[in-house]
C-alpha cells in the first residue's frame, strides 16, 4: 500500500482538484479523500508506505504517444530499459513507441519483442506497428494481426506516406479496427536538406532546407482523406501556422482529428539551429516565430490537443557531423514537463490543468489506454511535481544527451513517479524524499 498525503491534486479528466490524499492498493487507487491515514487499520498502517506531498502537485502519470527507444537495432542510442528510466524521471508512466526500428515493427515477432521487453521496465510500454511493410510505402502490413497482437495504433513515423491510395486503404482499415493512424507530414520531393527550415536558417548554413509547403501539402491531403474515411488520425509534431489552421478547420468537421505539438516546437524557432547547430536539427524543422505563436494559440484553443516529445536519441558522434549529415531529432522525455510549466503555464498560455490534459488524459484517450486520470479504482500511476522549483539540466537518464535545452534552467521538477502503485523514481531533493519506509503491495 502507498499513501500520498498533503498534496494538491489535479485530475484533468474529471476536472477535480484540491487538497486530497490518495491511497493505493496493488496497482489501483483505493481511495481519494482527506485524512485517509485515520481510515487505515493498525495492520494497514504498519505495511503502508507514506509519501509526503506537502507543497507539491499530485497528478496522473504523464502519457507520451510519440517516443523512439531505438530498440531493436539502434540500442547504442537508447534501449527500452534506459528509455523507460528517462520516462520515469520526466514523470511519464506510459509511452507509445514508434515503429521505425531495425527490423521495423511490421510483424508480430518484432512487436512481441518490444512489448515483452517493455514489461520488464517500471512503466507501461505500448507500441505502434508500421503502416507499410518495411516502411517502404508500397504494401500495407497485416493490420488485423498486428492489432490482435497488441499494437495500439499504426505509423511509419520518420517516413511520410506518399501514395494517397495506400493512405486511404490504411485509414479505412484503421477505422474498422478503431485504432489511430499517426502521420509524419513532410513531402520529400520539396525538401533539399531536411531538418533545417528553408529561410534564415538554411541561408545561414548555405543549404536548401525544408520549406513549409512540405508539411502543408501533406497535412491538407491527409486531413481530407481522414474526413472521408472517418479514420482517427494524429498529425504528428506540427510545425507550421498553415497546418494549425488546416487542423482547426478539419476538427470543425470531424471529431477524430488530432494534432500534437512538441515542447521544442512551442519553445524554439529556427534561430535555435543557428545557435545550437545539429542539437536543434529535427524533422520537421524549427520554423519562424509566427509559426511558434500559431502553435501556442492552437494549444490554448484546443486545436492542438496533444503534447508529445518525439524523444529521439542520437549519439554525440552522430550529432558532431556536418549539419547536412547529422541525424535529426532531440531527446525530450526528461525536459518536457519542465518546458510546459516554464513556457506554457508561467507565461499564461495554458493552466496547469490544461497542460496535464494534453500530456495525460488526451493522449491516453487517443490510444484508448487506461491511463491519464486519477479516480478510485483507476490506475495507481501518479506523479508529484514541485512546480515552483527549478532545475538546470546537465545530465540525463537517457543514453543520449542530444538536447538544445542542456544547461538551461527550467521550472517544474518531478519529485516522484509512481507507476502501478510502486515508486519507480524519486528525486534526491525536496519534500518527496520524506518517505516512511515500509512494504509496498
Q: How far apart are CA 196 and CA 383, in angstroms?
A: 35
Q: How far apart are the first and last CA of the chain?
A: 5
Residues pairing with 9 in the sheet: 18, 58
What phi and psi, each to the nearest 5 degrees, are found at residue 24? -110, 150
Q: Is 111 left (phi over 0), alpha (psi -120 to 50) or beta?
A: alpha
Contact 278, 264 (CB under 8 A): no
- The total of other beta-carbon atoms located within 10 Å of residue 349's CB is 18
330, 333, 337, 339 alpha-carbon torsion, rounded to 10°: -10
Q: How far apart are CA 199 and CA 177, in angstroms?
A: 41
Predicted pLDDT at 254: 87
Return the HEC string of 20-47. EEEEEECCEEEEEECCHHHHCCHHHHHH
Q: How far apart are CA 291 and CA 62, in angstroms?
A: 26
Q: How far apart are CA 258 and CA 66, in angstroms?
A: 13
- The H or E element spanning position 338 is helix 336-340
Q: How far apart are CA 283 and CA 275, in angstroms?
A: 17
- Block mean pLDDT (10 aa), the chain, length 441: 98 98 98 96 93 98 98 98 98 98 98 98 98 98 98 97 98 98 98 98 98 98 98 98 98 95 98 98 98 98 98 98 98 98 98 98 98 98 98 97 98 98 88 39 31
Q: How far apart are CA 144 and CA 147, in angstroms?
A: 5
| Distant-in-sequence, close-in-space partners of 431: CB < 8 Å, separation ≥ 6 | 52, 53, 54, 55, 56, 386, 415
Kindly state the DSSP code that residue 333 receives in the 8-state scheme.
T
Angle 142-65-361 from CA coordinates, rounded to 5° = 120
Predicted pLDDT at 77: 98
Kindly state the DSSP code that residue 129 receives in the 8-state scheme.
B
C-alpha cell of residue 366:
487517443
Contact 287, 197 (CB under 8 A): yes
- pTM of the shown model: 0.97
Active-site positions read: 310
Predicted pLDDT at 349: 98
**Among 260, 279, 185, residue whose Cα is nearest residue 224:** 185
Predicted pLDDT at 437: 41
**Among 134, 76, 127, 72, residue whose Cα is nearest residue 98:** 127
Amino acid at each position: 500500500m502507498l499513501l500520498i498525503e498533503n498534496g494538491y491534486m489535479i485530475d484533468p479528466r474529471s476536472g477535480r482538484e484540491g487538497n486530497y490524499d490518495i491511497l493505493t492498493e496493488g496497482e489501483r487507487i483505493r481511495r481519494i479523500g482527506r485524512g485517509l491515514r485515520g481510515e487505515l487499520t493498525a495492520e494497514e498502517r504498519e505495511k503502508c508506505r507514506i509519501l509526503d506531498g506537502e507543497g507539491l502537485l499530485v497528478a496522473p502519470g504523464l502519457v507520451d504517444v510519440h517516443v523512439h527507444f531505438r530498440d531493436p537495432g539502434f540500442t547504442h542510442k537508447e534501449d527500452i530499459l534506459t528509455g523507460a528510466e528517462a520516462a520515469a524521471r520526466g514523470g511519464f508512466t506510459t509511452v507509445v513507441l514508434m515503429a521505425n526500428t531495425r527490423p521495423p515493427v511490421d510483424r508480430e515477432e518484432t512487436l512481441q519483442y518490444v512489448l515483452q521487453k517493455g514489461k520488464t521496465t517500471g512503466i507501461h510500454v505500448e507500441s505502434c506497428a508500421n503502416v507499410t511493410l518495411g516502411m517502404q510505402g508500397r504494401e500495407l502490413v497485416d493490420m488485423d494481426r498486428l492489432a490482435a497482437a497488441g499494437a495500439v495504433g499504426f505509423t511509419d513515423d520518420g517516413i511520410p506516406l506518399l501514395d494517397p491510395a495506400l493512405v486511404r486503404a490504411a485509414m479505412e482499415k484503421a477505422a474498422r479496427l478503431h485504432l489511430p493512424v499517426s502521420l509524419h507530414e513532410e513531402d520529400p520531393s520539396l525538401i533539399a536538406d531536411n531538418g533545417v527550415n528553408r529561410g534564415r536558417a538554411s541561408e545561414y548554413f548555405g543549404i536548401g532546407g525544408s520549406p513549409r509547403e512540405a508539411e502543408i501539402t501533406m497535412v491538407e491531403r491527409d486531413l481530407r482523406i481522414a474526413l472521408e474515411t472517418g479514420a482517427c488520425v494524429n498529425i504528428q509534431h506540427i510545425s507550421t501556422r498553415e497546418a494549425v489552421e488546416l487542423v482547426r478547420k478539419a476538427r470543425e468537421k470531424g471529431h477524430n482529428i488530432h494534432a500534437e505539438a512538441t515542447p521544442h516546437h512551442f519553445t524554439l524557432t529556427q534561430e535555435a539551429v543557428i545557435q545550437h547547430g545539429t542539437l536543434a536539427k529535427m524533422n520537421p524543422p524549427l520554423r519562424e516565430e509566427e509559426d511558434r505563436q500559431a502553435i501556442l494559440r492552437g494549444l490554448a484553443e484546443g486545436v492542438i490537443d496533444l503534447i508529445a516529445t518525439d524523444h529521439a536519441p542520437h549519439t554525440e558522434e552522430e550529432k558532431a557531423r556536418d549539419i547536412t549529415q547529422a541525424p535529426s531529432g532531440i531527446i525530450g522525455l526528461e525536459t518536457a514537463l519542465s518546458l510546459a510549466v516554464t513556457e506554457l503555464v508561467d507565461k499564461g498560455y495554458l493552466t496547469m490543468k490544461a497542460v496535464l490534459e494534453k500530456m495525460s488524459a488526451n493522449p491516453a484517450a487517443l490510444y484508448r489506454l487506461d491511463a491519464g486520470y486519477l479516480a478510485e479504482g483507476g490506475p495507481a500511476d501518479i506523479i508529484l511535481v514541485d512546480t515552483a522549483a527549478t532545475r538546470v539540466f546537465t545530465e540525463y537518464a537517457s543514453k543520449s544527451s542530444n538536447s538544445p535545452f542542456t544547461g538551461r534552467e527550467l521550472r517544474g521538477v518531478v519529485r516522484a513517479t509512481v507507476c502501478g502503485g510502486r515508486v519507480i523514481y524519486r528525486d534526491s531533493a525536496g519534500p518527496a524524499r520524506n518517505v516512511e519506509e515500509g512494504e509496498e503491495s
